[in-house]
């Protein structure tokens, strides 16, 4: 084999490696972005922790509103038990959502969520949540789905958060395993990155 053939083979192998690497990264981009958002709070993605470690409750009160909907064709009724609650910074909050399967067959759903204003997500922590997990309801079954949360006291040191009086936590349920759910998750994370 001549030097030119060896060089051409090497260039071809490197080029193929780059192409396959880029294809692999394109498939991994949404899950990687989702993971980064959940860890950092970027794009309105709240953070999950095991427990509230805040040892003090502060006087500043913030109203947390809850917004819900279900995707078209998802035969569920889904709503919060309360439309809003007032919590003090550092205080644990608890809200229960109620889902009901309106169909005559079992249906599995998955919730996609976010927090607005987007800038507050890094201070809004959930310690218990049903989001991104599969929820299966039998025909006519009613399920209570609790969410516990708190606003991190670090918000008090961030002057950009002084105007935050209300936080909205939104959930949308989609039928699990559908292209619509995958599209919604992909669109959500792509929109958050723009």
pLDDT in tens, the chain (194 residues): 688 788 778 777 777 766 666 665 555 544 544 444 444 444 444 565 666 777 899 999 999 999 999 998 899 999 999 999 999 999 999 999 999 999 999 999 999 888 899 899 899 998 888 877 889 999 999 999 999 999 999 999 999 999 999 999 999 999 988 888 888 777 666 655 54
Asked if residues 112 and 188 have their Cβ atoms less than 8 Å apart, the reply is yes
d(CA 194, CA 191): 5
Q: Is 140 left (phi over 0), alpha (psi -120 to 50) or beta?
A: left
Total-model pTM:
0.69
Strands 47-48 and 124-128 turn out to be parallel
């Amino acid at each position: 084999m001549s030097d030119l053939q060896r060089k051409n083979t090497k260039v071809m192998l490197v080029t193929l490696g780059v192409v396959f690497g880029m294809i692999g990264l394109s498939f991994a981009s949404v899950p990687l972005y989702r993971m980064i958002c959940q860890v950092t709070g970027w794009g309105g993605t709240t953070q999950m922790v095991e427990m509230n470690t805040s040892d003090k409750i502060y006087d500043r009160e913030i109203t947390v509103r809850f917004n819900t909907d279900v995707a078209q064709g998802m035969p569920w009724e889904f709503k919060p038990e309360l439309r809003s609650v007032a919590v003090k910074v550092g205080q644990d909050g608890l809200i229960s959502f109620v889902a009901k399967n309106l169909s005559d067959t079992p249906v599995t759903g998955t919730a996609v969520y976010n927090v607005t204003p987007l800038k507050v997500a890094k201070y809004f922590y959930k310690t218990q949540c049903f989001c991104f997990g599969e929820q299966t309801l039998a025909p006519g079954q009613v399920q209570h789905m609790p969410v516990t949360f708190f606003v991190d006291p670090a918000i008090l040191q961030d002057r950009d958060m002084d105007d935050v009086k209300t936080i909205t936590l939104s959930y949308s349920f989609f039928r699990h395993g559908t292209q619509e759910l995958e599209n919604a998750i992909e669109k959500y994370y792509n929109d958050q990155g723009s």
